[in-house]
Amino acid sequence: MQKVTCNFCTLGCETSLNESDIGVVDIKYSKSGANEGRLCSRGNALPIYLSANQRLTSPLRNGQEINWKDAFNEIISALKNYKASEIAITYDTNLTIEEYSLVSEFAKIKGITKLASSYIEPEHYFNYVLPDVKIANFDDVKDSKTFFIIGDLFSQFPVIAKAILDVRYCSKQNRIFVLDSFVTSTAGFADTFIKTDVGKEALVLLDMANLAKGKTDELKGGIEHSVLSGVLNSLNESEKAVVIASNSFGKTTDPMVFSGMAQYFASSLKGDKKFLWLGESASVPGNVDFSDILSGIKKKEIKCLLNFGAMSPVYYPQIWDYLDELEFMASTVTMMPELAKNRLSYLFMPTTLLTETGGTIKTFFDGEKKVINGVKPLSGTKCVGEIVYALAENKISVVSPGKPVIKELNLEEVLSRAANMVIPQGDYILMGEKTAYQFKGLFSEPIVIMNSHNAKKLKVKEGSVVEIKSSVGESEFKVNISDKVPERVLLVSTELPEARSLFELNISSGICEFPPIEVSVCKRD
Amino acid sequence: MQKRLVVDLDYCIGCKSCSSACKLTFKGENRIVVSGVETVAYLPLACRHCEDALCLRACPKEAISKDKETGIVSRSSFKCVGCTSCIYACPFGVLDSMLLRHIPDKCNLCKGDEDGPNCVSSCPTGALKFLTDEEITKVQVGKQFVSRLAFWRRK
Ligand code: SF4
Ligand code: SF4
Ligand code: SF4
Ligand code: SF4
């Protein structure tokens, strides 16, 4: 039995795995860590993920296996062909703090200034913080009396729910408020559920911040004054409260505005009030945004890209068009999506998962924490640290992990973006939700949730199959009818690759995002 | 002593972690299904291991038996002919498609594993519990839920 830290989200839950000669077999639910060995569905998938047969075990060039020595030599000589300004480095979330420092150091030595996080989940934008926001930790959650939750926190991060429900049930005065455009399972536990129109969460938050600051201009979010001020008073009167936000891929028109408004609202509350965001992974913003890298590639200013991490950006087919313009790309990956294997002619290096690497990560439960890496790295893989050393031809000194840069959010800019936010129109809008249970499609098949009105219009029943077409792709889904989703909305789980690939990548606003989109849908027989 | 699976409705958030834990234990289909009562409550449905199990009575091939000591109702995949009688007999509908797909065994409370059932160990909120009859009488499993229900009905 091997103890490990789950690496699927920032919570850092602990569990144990049974290992045999052939690798990880299954989970042994040992009562360890702040999660007491309890896991969400995602965490339950650790053994299948670690031993998945899509995991790459040898470097791959143009789909052909090559050895590590050749791979390194090829990258080293490729780097010599380009000016530092033509090279960019990206990284995603599967890096430890030590590895992140090493990658930054490597960039510095090579004179490469374009360093960006290629992690483009919307929650990434919570890493951009407003100056006067106080960030909460797990102790704050347990000591708190009142919670204002934005999004479907319980389905996305079930392991947090117990602490919140414990507080709620311990006194009649304690409250849970939920803001969302769908009726979610989190909403089912709310004392007051503020149901907004699709895409208007950020505007409601802005209204609440304005009310808190005593500004009573016209309300833009469409929620009645009495409801908002009731919630606001309750929050202000509460001895200790936390505003908690989570954000789903394909759900928010502008994730930067969403993040900004949630923080703006939290910082406008009176007394001991804190803000907390929960995301699957905490990646640090780089010197530039990933959208700058992508537009640099399109303009042929960037010709060579090195990516370190688990799998982005190859994970998003929407990005392949950009990547195809590159002259050279090398990337570490843990799993190789079948589709990418046939399409992308780059150099891939198999890397380890955090549970195999060890090192320090930032976790919600314990702050900075040493990952417990009880399981052996899959044979053939190398960790990012080792790879960076090799690419630097060992001419890199051990760097002490520096504090990752956190970017400051410009309130003025976010406010003006909020004012110009466009909510998608059209007969059918595709939106995304993320629930731990749908992790990579391991536990559930692709479903689309629509309300009974839309089902009638499309002449479909529970279980019928529909085809959804967007400007970037098409996929089939089984219909699930529920009036929890508003009219016009087709709700899919963006944990599933089939659904994820339907969303359009938008970089026009200077950030990378996947907003809700207009789609067409038809019944399949 | 016989222990039972108990769900605390105040804490079940419908996350289905129990289902995925069960599914992975059996490397097949899960034996616990989380059913939603709209968004007001979630009800993970697993075999109750009934005192007087109707599935057992309905089975023409004596494929289903009840262990006297642990109370676990299990099904022998060798004896089962897939007639589906038990599926119709179970008043809780927990057998559903499992037998039809010829998956060996139903919920067997994880065969009396000393650490308790996996669905219980995995449940992030502690909503699923594994208790003796005596313990069950002492815990509250849905007091808050009752008041929440009224609140949602009003809306
Ligand atoms: S909450 Fe996060 S860390 Fe915990 S089990 Fe789930 S994915 Fe893993
Ligand atoms: S794991 Fe627990 S909280 Fe989640 S659905 Fe099952 S019983 Fe409910
Ligand atoms: S299958 Fe149904 S009838 Fe049989 S023991 Fe379980 S709950 Fe009772
Ligand atoms: S006790 Fe074991 S077999 Fe039964 S539902 Fe729970 S995990 Fe599945």
Is B27 a residue whose pLDDT tops 70?
no
**Residues A344/A314, Cβ–Cβ less than 8 Å:** yes
Ligand minimally distant from the alpha carbon of residue B130: 4
Average pLDDT, chain A: 90
What pLDDT sits at residue B28? 66
| Atom 3, ligand 2: residue with shortest CA distance | B12
The CA-atom distances, in angstroms, between B73 and each of A470, B66, B90 are 50, 4, 12
From the candidate CATH numbers 3.30.360.10, 3.30.565.10, 3.30.70.20, 3.20.20.540, the one assigned to the domain spanning B3-154: 3.30.70.20
B109 lines ligand 4 (CB under 6 A): yes
A350 pLDDT above the threshold of 90: yes
The tokens 């057992």 sit on which residue? Answer: B56
* Model pLDDT, residue B133: 86
3-state secondary structure of A141: helix
For A220-237, how does the pLDDT look when each residue is reduced to its tens digit (9 = 90+)?
899 999 999 999 999 999
Q: Is the per-residue pLDDT at B103 higher than 70? A: no
pLDDT (average), residues A352-364 = 88
Please report the pLDDT score of residue A447 as a whole number. Answer: 93
- If one residue of B109, B121, B122, B130 were mutated to test the ligand 4 pocket, choosing by the most ligand atoms within 8 A of its CB, it would be B109
Phi then psi dihedrals of residue A205, to 5 deg: -65, -40
Q: Is the pLDDT of residue B98 over 80?
A: no
Task: Tell me, using a 6 A CB cutoff, whether residue B94 lines ligand 3.
Answer: yes
B29 touches chain A (CB under 8 A): no
Interface of A with B in 449-488 (CB under 8 A): 484
> Is this model's pTM higher than 0.90 or not?
yes
What pLDDT score was predicted for residue A467?
97
At residue A154, the pLDDT reads: 95
Quote the minimal CA–CA distance from A158 to chain B in Å.
Answer: 6
Is B20 within 8 Å of chain A by CB? yes
Q: Residues A461, A512: contact at Cβ < 8 Å?
A: no
Contact residues, A window 283-342, toward B, CB-based 8 Å cutoff: none
Q: Mutating which of B125, B147, B148, B155 best tests the A interface, going by the most A Cβ atoms within 10 A?
A: B125
* Exposure b/e, A106-121, CB count within 10 A at least 16 = b: bbeeeebebbbbbbbb
Contact A443 B20 (CB under 8 A): yes
- Residue B120 pLDDT class (50, 70, 90 cuts): very high
Instruction: Categorize the per-residue pLDDT at A314 as very low, low, confident or very high, splitting at 50, 70 and 90.
Output: confident
User: Cβ–Cβ of B39/A162 closer than 8 Å?
Assistant: no
Q: Which domains does chain A have, with CATH numbers?
A: 2-50 (2.20.25), 60-120+284-391 (3.40.50.740), 125-277 (3.40.228.10), 424-524 (2.40.40.20)
User: What is d(CA A370, CA A157) in angstroms, rounded to the nearest whole number?
Assistant: 21
Q: What is the pLDDT of residues A181-196, one digit of tens each?
A: 999 989 989 999 999 9
| B15, closest residue in chain A (CA to CA) | A155
- Write out the DSSP string of A456-490: HHHT--TT-EEEEE-SS-EEEEEEEE-TTSPTTEE
